[in-house]
């Protein structure tokens, strides 16, 4: 039986030392020259059994780890990947036992930009010609992106692997597409296409690089797998010739097992509330506005919730008026 443990103060020897390391780790991760940015936090009891693990990085393998109970809470981008895991569609051959805790707001779409000199007007044209396209996609730090790109390509008759088999080349590049190492190579003809997310950073640069976006078609089939319809809007990106249909890439869900202990998820949500002024949640500097909990707990275009909320999370968000 576990010992009767009573802390002597909110900060006492049992948590003073681990908190020191957590604070040091946070400071180290803000350094420009620090590359080790995936973090696992494991919390164990001094007095008895019990182990809880949080994984703070965007990796698709974490979904299986959560499903298997080896990680308790993790996060992911985009929300549609968690939707596909929940349904057992797309890259998942069976449903995963997952639920949402909250969703960090992030509005985004996938873009399929191809050099205009090739004359393609649809993704299916590439498949029909078995064209050896040279494509730049995201690198290993963002392993979700090529997986989700492949789901769309498969609906149009080919995959990234097919491009290689036809004599093409896949370049896995970590910088965002607006970086000269990517958009510059598209402009110079060194590559033929960029398939990627984060369109707000590069959609207006595509025309200047001698390229154009191809629309995503077969949207009904892609919706059945979990994708939402997306739109590259000319009102947001003036260099586009018109609105272009694509698929949505929004939302950064925080998720857990559907049967995760209610007490754990309750404490996790209350910690988000208590630390909302200190937690960084958006791309930018270390000083940020408070966590937008009123958005994170509700369905919206930037916070898709096609996976159910964990019941304990629902209860906390309702208690505080966020739902």
Q: What is the pLDDT of residues 230-256, one digit of tens each?
A: 999 999 999 999 999 999 999 999 999
CA atoms of 322 and 313, how far apart (whole Å): 11
Query: Token pair for residue 215?
Result: 């629309």
Burial 34-72 (b: 16+ CB within 10 A, else e): eeeeeeeeeeeeeeeeeebbbbeebbbebbebbbeeebb
- Lowest-confidence pick of 21-35, 158-172, 177-191: 21-35
Q: Is the pLDDT of residue 85 over 50?
A: yes
CA atoms of 184 and 292, how far apart (whole Å): 36
Q: Is the pLDDT of residue 1 over 50?
A: no
Contact 96, 258 (CB under 8 A): no
Q: The tokens 């506005």 sit on which residue?
A: 289
Structural domains of the chain, ranges and CATH numbers in brackets: 13-107+250-319 (3.40.190.10), 111-247 (3.40.190.10)
- Report CA-CA distances (Å) from 123 to 130, 193, 242, 260: 11, 11, 17, 41
Query: Token pair for residue 276?
Result: 């909302």
Q: What is the pTM of this model?
A: 0.93
Question: Under the phi-then-psi rule, with left for phi > 0, alpha for psi from -120 to 50, and beta for the rest, what region is 249?
Answer: alpha
Burial 173-207 (b: 16+ CB within 10 A, else e): beebbbeeebbebbbeeebbbbbbbbbebbbebbb
Dump the DSSP string for 179-206. SIIIIIHHHHTS-SEEEES-GGGTGGGT
pLDDT band at 47 (very low <50, low <70, confident <90, very high): confident
Q: Is the pLDDT of residue 147 over 60?
A: yes
Q: Is the pLDDT of residue 209 over 80?
A: yes
Q: Is the pLDDT of residue 187 over 60?
A: yes
- Report CA-CA distances (Å) from 153 to 74, 121, 145, 245: 28, 14, 12, 14
């Amino acid at each position: 039986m576990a010992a009767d443990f009573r802390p002597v103060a909110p900060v006492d020897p049992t948590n003073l030392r681990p908190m020191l390391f957590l604070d040091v780790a946070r400071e180290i991760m803000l350094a420009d020259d620090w590359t080790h940015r995936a973090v696992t936090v494991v919390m164990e009891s001094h007095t008895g059994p019990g182990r809880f693990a949080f994984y703070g990085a965007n990796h698709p393998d974490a979904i299986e780890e959560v499903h298997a109970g080896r990680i308790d809470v993790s996060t992911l981008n985009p929300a549609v990947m968690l939707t596909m895991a929940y349904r057992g569609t797309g890259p998942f051959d069976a449903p995963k036992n997952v639920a949402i805790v909250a969703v960090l707001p992030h509005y985004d779409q996938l873009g399929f930009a191809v050099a205009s000199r090739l004359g393609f007007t649809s993704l299916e044209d590439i498949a029909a010609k078995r064209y050896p396209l040279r494509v730049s996609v995201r690198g290993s730090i963002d392993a979700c992106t090529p997986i989700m790109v492949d789901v769309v390509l498969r609906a149009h008759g080919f995959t990234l692997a097919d491009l290689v088999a036809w004599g093409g080349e896949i370049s896995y590049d970590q910088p965002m597409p607006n970086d000269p190492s990517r958009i510059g190579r598209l402009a110079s003809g060194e590559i033929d296409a960029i398939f990627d997310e984060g369109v707000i950073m590069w959609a207006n640069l595509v025309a200047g690089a001698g390229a154009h976006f191809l629309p995503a078609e077969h949207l009904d089939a892609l919706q059945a797998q979990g994708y939402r319809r997306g739109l590259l809007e000319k009102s947001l990106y003036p260099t586009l010739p018109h609105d272009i249909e694509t698929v949505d890439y929004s939302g950064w869900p925080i998720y857990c097992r559907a049967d995760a202990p209610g007490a754990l998820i309750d404490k996790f949500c209350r910690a988000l509330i208590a630390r909302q002024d200190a937690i960084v949640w958006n791309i930018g500097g270390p000083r940020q506005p408070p966590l937008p909990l009123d958005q994170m707990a509700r369905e919206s275009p930037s916070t898709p919730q096609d996976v159910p909320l964990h019941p304990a999370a629902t209860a906390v968000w309702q208690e505080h008026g966020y739902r």
